[in-house]
Structure 1
């Protein structure tokens, strides 16, 4: 006899609307990752140095953090299609401005606008994943979404660095704009209005009581290291080793979505809290391996380990947060998780850029690993409760 549980777990996951969402996410992710490591290189090549590189990443991510607080209210008022369309335009179109100027103020302004677009897309898309897929397969659905987000990183992070010497910065800026704007085509099949059940728009309201604070802070610790690695690894390795950096970024980008998907499948069976501490330990080991720069082995193994830990932590923290709230707080969960992502990413790049000149790259990377390691403590406590 077929049980209710068996029926629930066979509910279709990859529907037409979910597929359109994944296509849009892929294009916008490619737009972001093509320029993630390239913009710091662009600034460094034009005299802005490591401080400018850190500022560019921080400007984009802090802009995203500010706008993410507003996205649940925007979704409630204007619906998914209008808001996501705005995000695609803000993320893609400003890349073309970089064709005209490499001055630090102009580049930072572009990063700020693109950060606003990124905020809209990531919060809206993650909330829509929970809305379009069965709750009994939420971990797996978030894992599939993680692959759609991660594949552009696999392509964009190493390809962007590699192509700077092949087609130049200008062609990359155009490609990044087209990748995001092409996602407008996928909006036609997505839901228009947010359901009345999803009207909780106070992002920071009731965070501690709802159990969302711990996974938010733990994930922020991991994203600190993520922002540092993609921003400063190309600068930390000698300029004639771009192929090594591209390979390391490729390994990290492949490992993250694979781990995110696998973590989602096992989280549905075992519970996300039990898997979170091991994921953080792997991430800390990966970040700490960069202490041994410029060893190619340390760079490659560290990038792979960090990618696995980071990818798993992405899924586990998000699944844990969704499991602790009802449907009315899905938008809040999406906003909080993305605040941790972008806030940690931006803060890490900004602080690292400020201190690396005085400490050198090995010590700065050691401090980064320590931040991730500290997050293991609350993760272990969560697994025991």
Structure 2
């Protein structure tokens, strides 16, 4: 059963002048590791599948590398809360950055698919530790009255590296090769370790511990996570297979498409955060999924450069809305003692969705082709819309969990 901490619920009588400041010194320091981890992750996200293909792997091999990355990430996110209990948030965050950075430096030491998979597994485990430990710290630094806006701001900080990293990685490979890109990704992860000693260690909150299984069994927490996982599945497909789905197009087109997708997501997260604080984040989950599905349908016209760019832009907008609304909604439905579990579950949904999408789409596309594969992905999102509709305020059996600010 979900227990909402009254301290986490914004007061409906709180006016704009009474709202606490959003940005603090701990949050600014946290932005350093948010930016670095995200830059390292996204710089190689589309590059590694290309490197695997360059090493002799086909479409299945390219998809398997992203799948390995996400599989290790999900496994790491499951055990991360226990790791945090033993070593603390700062040590866990530092260990995660180390595991992301060192393997990136040696990515091109060998070219076999097995070696690339090992690098992906280590990076995935490291990314898991950074997002779970860092996510719990970040949530504790944000005033509950401005949670949606604060998480959107964090999303912008992490979104800028994805905005630049995805297309920049693909472009840099064509200009300087794979090794320098791997080194750059390693430095991006290792440099922020210097900021960790300045972060305050999150104090343990009194109250019953909410474990991973507790969160999975609670529909109020699990449903937004599952809905977000469906859109994350599509995101994994876009970043992994878009460079392969438009082989006749120039590298410039792929770079533009991989730029506008996170750009749309970043802007949408900020807007969704402000709207969610005032109207309730649960109202935005359904529109986020609907827009995501529309974007995937448009992207299916891979023979048209305009359709590809517009499609991934529309998908990015829907994905950004789904990102911010689901995570904010999940935090609002637990006491502060459950922040770590929410961070783990939401990131598991993110990474499991991306990994499953990358692996399964590779098999599907070989049977039906990339355009029909994108259509099938859009149809899957559409199938999740009824569940999103039932989770909105006023739906039968659904209580309004958020008060408008």
State how 1:1-385 maps to structure 2 within 5 Å. 5-6=14-15, 9-197=18-206, 200=209, 202-209=211-218, 211-238=220-247, 240-383=249-392, 384-385=394-395
Contact 1:127–1:330 under 8 Å retained in 2? yes
Q: Which runs of 5+ in 2 are unaligned?
A: 1-11, 396-405
1: CA distance between counterparts of 2:207 and 2:39?
29
1: CA distance between counterparts of 2:141 and 2:303?
45
Would the alpha carbon gap of residues 113 and 290 (structure 1) be closer, same or farther in structure 2, given more than 3 Å must change? same
Residue-by-residue CA offset, 1:119-166 (whole Å, 9 max, x unaligned) = 111112221121111111111110011001100001100100111111
Deviates more, 1:208-217 or 1:13-22: 208-217
Deviates more, 1:196-205 or 1:183-192: 196-205
SS in 2 for 1:294: coil
Q: Which runs of 5+ in 1 are unaligned?
A: none
SS in 2 for 1:238: coil
Deviates more, 1:206-215 or 1:223-232: 206-215
2: CA distance between counterparts of 1:100 and 1:43?
13
Instruction: Give the drift of 1:358.
Output: 1.3
Residue-by-residue CA offset, 1:325-359 (whole Å, 9 max, x unaligned) = 11111111111000100000000000001121111
SS in 1 for 2:209: coil
Aligned length, in residue pairs: 383
Residue-by-residue CA offset, 1:17-64 (whole Å, 9 max, x unaligned) = 100111111011000101000000111112101111100000000111
1: CA distance between counterparts of 2:207 and 2:245?
45
Deviates more, 1:203-212 or 1:326-335: 203-212
1: CA distance between counterparts of 2:215 and 2:105?
41
Would the alpha carbon gap of residues 4 and 185 (structure 1) be closer, same or farther in structure 2, given more than 3 Å must change? farther
Contact 2:66–2:240 under 8 Å retained in 1? yes
Contact 2:132–2:340 under 8 Å retained in 1? yes
Q: Please give the root-mean-square deviation of Cα atoms over the aligned residues, in Å.
A: 1.6
2: CA distance between counterparts of 1:260 and 1:56?
28
Would the alpha carbon gap of residues 199 and 69 (structure 1) be closer, same or farther in structure 2, given more than 3 Å must change? farther
TM-score, length basis structure 1: 0.96
SS in 1 for 2:389: helix
